[in-house]
Amino acid sequence: MIKKGTRISTPKGKLGVLIPGMGAVATTFIAGVEAIRTQGAKPFGSLTQMGTIRLGKRTEKRIPMIKDFVPLADVADLVFGGWDIHGENSYETAVRSGVLERTLLDSLKSQLRQIKPLDAVFEKRFVKRLTPTHVKKGKTKYELALQVIDDIKNFKRQNDLDRLVMIWCGSTEVFLKPGDVHATLANFEKGLKKSHPDISPSMIYAYAALSSGIPFANGAPNLTCDIPAMVELAQRNKAPICGKDFKTGQTFMKTIIAPGLKSRMLGLRGWFSTNILGNRDGEVLDEPESFKTKEESKLSVLDHILQPEVYPELYRGFHHQVRINYYPPSGDNKEGWDNIDIFGWLGYPMQIKVNFLCRDSILAAPLCLDLVLLLDLAQRSKMYGIQEWLSFYFKSPQCAPELYPEHDLFIQLMKLKNTLRYLRGEELITHLGLEYYD
């Protein structure tokens, strides 16, 4: 464990952000950062840019901005690159994705046009709905990994970068269960050389990042880093890793409402969630095997928060159903519907209906920014392996094998802020507060 108040090296020079999968989320993130640094746009939704942190007692009134409290890289120092299966530059992709207004994108055109994806590692078996035009060729998966490692080295050299972070914003891959090939690093490397069928493209990027000592975050629910082989590699090369699947729309709401119901000991009979969305992500998730990966990630949340084994009378056997409906006219403007059947005093039933009209990539982009900056901070603080304190950002947080993941958004936020306090040698905040009444 790192020491309280550990020395954190100051962020010098530029930080490269490598993104496998340069689609709607990635280009909304990139264009947003460009608008923030060149046009004074506001980074709403980003805890690192807008959030504060209370230090010491409430009477001390010490509440700095998070970005002034911990030495984060400046958004002005981010340099973007990545991979995709198509050859569009980021301007073209952002226009096609239809998330941001054309006038804004046109004002950023010269910067965005320069950001072009490199040829991707892709295997159709893992994302059946997409047909690639720009992919790498290699005799084995190991050769492909070496090509990605070369891409990383070249990107670093060409852009004169000091440090790098990789964040997967690619499509959701089909459901995979961890097997022998994922169990140890030795098995995984053997598997790469034999092109084992259960090594997915996202694992190849993660392997390349971690082999190069680069932190890795996973915006999709793919297995990717959530296997012992990658944890071993991250430990060995002192690279931080964290959870999977950005917690943005419906699951974000779920992890706010469910802890509230539980805190008041209100019971749950059923929770039906459906989503209507029409972007390319929706199209990929229309494929049952990709949906299965997403479904697993979305379903796990309620059981962990509500703990039916601890509160059987309130939560045993509640019906939880999640649907995703691909409806092209909606584009990136996802609509989440939730019907929640609860019960209270003497078992009397009640209902909650939530209709969240959100914008998927608008919710995800600030999470990308925070994760990039916090993973870089973690590495400069000499933290490596699983970073459970970043659970705040994920539908499927990653944690030590003997633990269950923490899904409650407010516990996650407290964990994140206490980790920052710990890094800076400040007292942790327990919210006990009895000392004010002595």
Ligand X SMILES: NC(=O)c1ccc[n+]([C@@H]2O[C@H](COP(=O)([O-])OP(=O)(O)OC[C@H]3O[C@@H](n4cnc5c(N)ncnc54)[C@H](O)[C@@H]3O)[C@@H](O)[C@H]2O)c1
| 90, 224, 250, 361: residue in contact with ligand X (rule CB under 6 A) | 361
CB of 148 to ligand X, least distance (A): 10
Distance CA 33, CA 366 (A): 9
| 122, 291, 326, 389: residue in contact with ligand X (rule CB under 6 A) | 122
| 172, 275, 300, 398: residue in contact with ligand X (rule CB under 6 A) | 172
- Helix or strand (DSSP H, E) at 304: helix 288-306
3-state secondary structure of 114: coil
Interaction between residue 19 and ligand X (CB under 6 A): no
Give the largest CA-CA distance in the chain. 72
CA dihedral 59, 65, 66, 71 (to 10 degrees): -120
For residues 70 and 363, which CB has a smaller minimum distance to ligand X in the complex?
A: 363
Nearest partner of 93 among 122, 117, 75, 119, judged by Cα: 117
CB of 367 to ligand X, least distance (A): 8
CB of 169 to ligand X, least distance (A): 5
For residues 343 and 356, which CB has a smaller minimum distance to ligand X in the complex?
A: 356
Nearest partner of 277 among 359, 338, 353, judged by Cα: 359
CB of 102 to ligand X, least distance (A): 17
| 49, 90, 147, 171: residue in contact with ligand X (rule CB under 6 A) | 171
Interaction between residue 108 and ligand X (CB under 6 A): no
Distance CA 348, CA 345 (A): 6
| 239, 364, 371, 374: residue in contact with ligand X (rule CB under 6 A) | 364
- Helix or strand (DSSP H, E) at 149: helix 141-158
Residue 396 vs residues 80, 109, 170: alpha-carbon distances, Å: 26, 35, 17
Residue 227 DSSP label: S
For residues 389 and 393, which CB has a smaller minimum distance to ligand X in the complex?
A: 393
Interaction between residue 85 and ligand X (CB under 6 A): yes
For residue 363, the Cα-to-chain-centroid distance in whole angstroms is 11
| 15, 24, 203, 257: residue in contact with ligand X (rule CB under 6 A) | 24
| 11, 16, 20, 267: residue in contact with ligand X (rule CB under 6 A) | 20
| 8, 15, 18, 25: residue in contact with ligand X (rule CB under 6 A) | 25
Q: How many residues bind ligand X (CB under 6 A)?
A: 36
Q: Helix %, strand %, coil % for the chain, to 5?
A: 45, 20, 35
Interaction between residue 281 and ligand X (CB under 6 A): yes
Interaction between residue 391 and ligand X (CB under 6 A): no
For residues 277 and 414, which CB has a smaller minimum distance to ligand X in the complex?
A: 277
Distance CA 27, CA 92 (A): 9
Interaction between residue 246 and ligand X (CB under 6 A): yes
Distance CA 405, CA 305 (A): 9
Q: What is the binding site for ligand X (CB under 6 A)?
A: 20-26, 83-86, 97, 120-122, 127, 130, 169-172, 201, 219-220, 245-246, 248-249, 279-281, 284, 360-361, 363-364
